[in-house]
A and B are shown apart, each in its own frame.
Chain A
Amino acid sequence: MGLALMCLAHTALAQDALLSDSLEEVVVTATGTQHLLKNAPVQTEVISGRMLRQYGGGSLEDILGGLSASFAFNEGDMGSQMQMNGLGNSYILILVDGKRLHGDVGGQNDLGLIDPQNIERIEVVKGASSALYGSDAIAGVINIITKRHDESLLLENSTRYGSYNDIRQHNGIGLAWGRWKSYTNFQLQHSDGWQNTATEHTPSSAAPVTDSRSKTVNEHTNWQLSEQLTFTPMKNLELYASGSVYGKGIYRPKGKYPKYDVKTFDLTYRNASAAVGGQWKTAAGDLVTLDIDWNRHAYYHSFTSTTLAEGFDADGQFILDFPYFKGQRLLQSDQRRTMAHLKGVFALPYGQRLSAGIEARYDYLKAPTSVENGKADDNTEALYVQDEWVALGWLQLTGGLRLNRNEGFGWRLTPKLSTMVSVGDVRLRGTWSQGFKTPALKEMNYRYIREMNSIIMYLGNKDLKAQTSNYFSLGSEYTHAGLNVTVTGYYNKVDNMIALATIDRNEAPLAYRQQYGEMLNKVRRYKNMEDARTYGVDVSVRYTRQEWTAGLGYSYLDTDAHVYDADHDRLEKVVIDGMAHHKGNVFATWEHRFSPHYQLGIGLYGRMSSKRYYQIDGNGKAFHTWRLSTTHNLGSRGKTSYRVEAGVDNIFNYVDRTPHGLHLGTTTPGTTVYATLTIRFSQGKNVKFNKMSNSKIHQNDEED
């Protein structure tokens, strides 16, 4: 298909406005400064607002999985597991308007914190970016840029309804008054969940269970209210304050098999955030920003029937059989984070631009029954600089260095070097960068039991070392006459990779061993693996001509990881869970304006993955699914505009019916349909007191 598109390209003389639009897009993630996409010194993948609107994605999982070949998701009964070029969630830094997302569901970032209707565009920078962003940026960085609202008065409502009672509500109120601006966002997401199979994975010695109630994806509801206030006291100075509250519930069905489908608690999450900050643009054009934010993410077990669980007896002794009753809940963990970040971007002579910043971060974990003494905390401070230098018209160099100090792991220097060479229509980019991840408080301190088909105990490890990585990539990009082709090869070596290793069952603390006995199937502890390598090639092709756009993405991946086996004093090869060698996506869209009151868009999207490998509980099957989406812009009536989106997902009704307890390739329930109605009332544009074009202006936190 790529070749066919290349041939087409030679005949296409008119460069389509749509493609050039996206290449002229301003991106910020690679360097923290603005660049046109085509001139970004590090390859940046952009999912543009136009693509988002045409695709009509119901969630961030849906969007990233459907529009990029580098991501894999496994929407499980406890939330989505994300992978980016073979590395899991904990190696992916997710930013919302440049700020770290806070909050996880079962160790996975809670992507429900992001309102898909409020996304302007998504920027993805693959590979290590710790020099600029600090911990976690090992596999890459996803930066969700939210919409900016300048209207004097804006009222918007978007309601989506789909199969399995899939409801997505977005409501926004935007106001601008003099030097003040406000935007209030409320979102609601709900799904009844679904069951792909009623069969449980049972041992061959037992009769099969074929009428289980366990769902493939459990019913869940989440809601979020956020508010952002902006004040522009004088020209070139903008201040903001923002906050949000968020709640999520995961509801689990109860059947008749205590071994398989009887659960005695649901999962509840509560998240809150608050932030203040501002930015000042000096007369010389330099930019200084300050952001202070606080986040909280709490996770509870909400009991649905009488349950004996962790607690404290009358003497304050920790016990595993403290009774809880229906309607009561038990706090599992409450993770709080406070961060302050001061940054400046300064123009220097000889085509140089310097970014420098200091950061302080305090993490606090409260987990009365899952951490010794009930709490743990951690401090990190960092100082970083980055210089971007346009050395020659065709040569750009970027170098960055971060000095990080962590309470437990001391000092660390993390460098990054990248270069871009432009020759005609071709851009060549090369990067060497380091990444690191300080062990999370939970990885060090938390101990918990996960009750799935089998019961597994997880133990933290205070002796964990920080994970570090070296990332190398070499890529080329060719853009000509509506065609854009990128090919990037990468090699990512992670040292001291933290992974769960199965240890002897008898290493579980006595109280747990006594209570769980033979049901305790495995005991796993976080350990530093010796090393892990991921390497592969990402290819993307896009072609735009008049009203048509088509594209494909392909990602080849291989991994090579070792764990030290102390019993035998040797390295053992292991797979990185969830790894697939081949992943791809293709799409074709067509847009046509029939009248001022009707514009139609049609899109066909395919995604595919080869077999996914796991250490335990079987491999996930290969799959491909297809989606047809339509958009209908119904134009404006006065100040109100209307838009309808409707589509069919998984049109060939592919369903993975692997029994519960084993890994699935994909959890799609089969063919589903959806429809969205968006109504938007807007009045006037506010007079801009601040003409700064740096997108930092709207890098305010609404979702974090």
Chain B
Amino acid sequence: MKKIKFLLIAMMAMMTTAVFTACSDDDDDNVSNMERYQKEVEKTVRKEKKNDKAILLVAFGSTWQQAYDAFDLTRSEYAAQFPGYDVYLSFSSAICINRAMAGENTGKRNFYEPKYWLEAFGRVQYKEIVVQSMQVIPGEEFSRVVNAMKDFGNNSNGDLDDKYMSEVTLKLGMPLMYTEEDAGKLATQLDMNLKTYAQQGAMLFMGHGNPDEYDTYKANVRYTQLEEKLQAINPNYFVGTVDMMDNFKVQVHDRMVEKGLTTGKVFCFPLMSIAGDHAHNDMAGDDDAWDEEKGAFEVNEDGEVEDTSWKMYFSHLGYTIDAKAYTDGEGGLVKGLLEYKNIRNLYINHTKNAEVVDFYHSMYPEE
């Protein structure tokens, strides 16, 4: 018995020692993950490739079903409008890609990043690739689309055939309001869709906009231009943003007051390709920082009222809010631009007029 006990105790001692040492189990995922992932994208492309020309629609991405429906509609319309082209959809947001691909989705949602799609297109050697930016303005997000194309054009992975790279046609379809002229066209179409609201009261558009420090392309000006064009049609139209300096809801309200719009109905529409978090929360949500005691909102140093949706903001300022208009259901205005056929046509026209871009630089310039 004593011996057995001694042995047992010795065993315990060894176990204690083992505990000291059994502690390094970190995983080191190496770079081959990127190639493995690229292969998955390539496999998808090989399966879907029916033509030698491809259109890649690039959006930021979303996790809303309503947005997936809008993207699906857009894709199918592109397929109909562009026979001879394979149409793909790309998200630039990693988390949107992750969530869209996982879970029990009703449809397959492989919305890979542009860089992976383009590399895969190169590997299967599409002869013509048209990248269509689904952005509203040529701002920061658009610049990332362009960068992905440049990386592809430069064969930054270094594994694409140089001869192919020198021959492939690469085209870029511009955002919805690439030029001032585009803003005018958009104004006409928006008015067609929403004129009945603008006749009843103030009809506001909520765009995204770039914060000052990221507005390198000065693309924010398009919102101002859009407002000018819309007001030329009906002075009840206003265009504000979530992030553009001096064009938050507070300044929209200032401009409304200047025009004598101090009461009456206020309608809002998201000036975004799809209705996602900004539309549902920042525009039509229930966040409300109204200070009951002071009977006022508090304006931050940037001139914006935080933690308050457009709906709640204008409701407290004495305007009439039609609750039904602030939903995504029937009769509601929480809709993405892509949910309207005439706006989809504007994008399609941009794709038809896509410009050939020459981002190609041979890997062997001396040749």
Contact = CB atoms under 8 A, between A and B. Distances in A.
Which residue of A242, A245, A334, A519 has the most chain B CB atoms within 10 A of its CB atom? A519
B242 to A, nearest CB: 8
B59 to A, nearest CB: 11
B12 A205 contact: no
Given A180-B9, A567-B300, A567-B301, A205 B27 contact: no
A272 B278 contact: no
Contacts of A184: 12, 15
Interface stretch (A113-121, A259-267, A382-390): A259-267
B20 A274 contact: yes
A313 B31 contact: yes
B247 to A, nearest CB: 15
A142 B163 CA distance: 71
Contacts of A320: 94
A258 B16 contact: no
A517 B19 contact: no
A24 interface: no
A506 B103 CA distance: 30
B29 A330 contact: yes
A497 to B, nearest CB: 22
B284 interface: yes
Contact of B12 (A229, A273, A311, A510): A229
A455 interface: yes
Interface stretch (B34-42, B230-238, B255-263, B343-351): B34-42
A514 interface: yes
B9 A256 contact: no
A304 interface: yes
Interface stretch (B73-81, B169-177, B187-195, B326-334): B326-334
Contact of B22 (A180, A206, A207, A245): A245
B103 to A, nearest CB: 3
Contacts of B277: 454, 518-519, 521
A576 B287 CA distance: 20
A254 interface: yes
Contacts of B94: 308-309, 320-321, 515
Contacts of A207: 328-329
Contacts of B16: 227-229, 241-243, 274
A329 interface: yes
Interface in B79-118: 92-106, 113
Contacts of B97: 308
A29 to B, nearest CB: 27
A435 to B, nearest CB: 32
Nearest to B60: A517
B102 to A, nearest CB: 4
A305 B211 contact: no
Contacts of B5: 153, 175, 177
A311 B64 CA distance: 26
A322 B27 contact: no
B99 A262 contact: yes
B234 to A, nearest CB: 25
A145 B336 CA distance: 60
A272 B23 contact: yes
A424 interface: no
Nearest to A244: B19
B95 A516 contact: yes
A325 to B, nearest CB: 7
A203 B285 contact: yes
A177 B279 CA distance: 72
Contacts of A509: none
Interface string B242-258: 11000000000000000
Contact of A515 (B36, B95, B213): B95
A242 B13 CA distance: 9
Which residue of B23, B144, B326 has the most chain A CB atoms within 10 A of its CB atom? B23
A343 interface: no
Nearest to B301: A567
B276 interface: yes
A153 to B, nearest CB: 8
A261 B60 CA distance: 21
A204 B27 contact: no
A264 B26 contact: no
Given A229-B13, A270-B25, A258 B100 contact: yes
Contact of B95 (A153, A206, A451): A451
A330 B103 contact: no
Nearest to A296: B23
Given A254-B104, A330-B29, A519 B96 contact: yes
A454 B277 CA distance: 9
Contacts of B243: 506
A256 B64 CA distance: 11
Interface in A295-320: 296, 298, 300, 304-309, 311, 313-314, 320
Contacts of A273: 19
B280 A206 contact: yes
B310 to A, nearest CB: 11
Interface in A260-296: 261-264, 270, 272-274, 296
B113 A322 contact: no
B250 to A, nearest CB: 15
A259 B8 contact: no
Contact of B34 (A258, A259, A322): A322
B182 interface: no
A272 B113 CA distance: 39
B2 interface: yes
A514 B31 CA distance: 23
B27 A243 contact: no
B281 interface: yes
A257 interface: yes
B98 A308 contact: yes
B196 interface: no
Nearest to B2: A177
A229 B27 contact: no
Interface in B31-86: 31, 33-34, 36-37, 40, 60-61, 63-66
B326 A204 contact: yes
Given A320-B94, A519-B63, A519-B277, A175 B103 contact: no
17 contacts: A173-B8, A177-B2, A184-B12, A243-B18, A245-B23, A258-B100, A258-B103, A262-B103, A274-B19, A309-B94, A323-B33, A328-B27, A331-B26, A506-B214, A506-B243, A514-B144, A567-B301
Interface of A: 153, 173, 175, 177, 180, 182, 184, 203-207, 225, 227-229, 241-245, 254-259, 261-264, 270, 272-274, 296, 298, 300, 304-309, 311, 313-314, 320-325, 328-331, 334, 451, 454-455, 504, 506, 510, 514-519, 521, 567-568
Interface of B: 2, 5-6, 8-9, 12-13, 15-20, 22-23, 25-27, 29, 31, 33-34, 36-37, 40, 60-61, 63-66, 92-106, 113, 140-141, 144, 208, 211, 213-214, 242-243, 276-281, 283-286, 298, 300-302, 323, 326-329, 332, 334
The 5 A-B pairs at the shortest CB distance, nearest first, are namely A243-B19, A262-B103, A205-B284, A323-B37, A258-B99
Given A205-B326, A321-B113, A519-B95, 10 more contacts: A203-B280, A205-B327, A229-B13, A258-B103, A263-B102, A300-B27, A308-B95, A308-B97, A311-B33, A517-B141
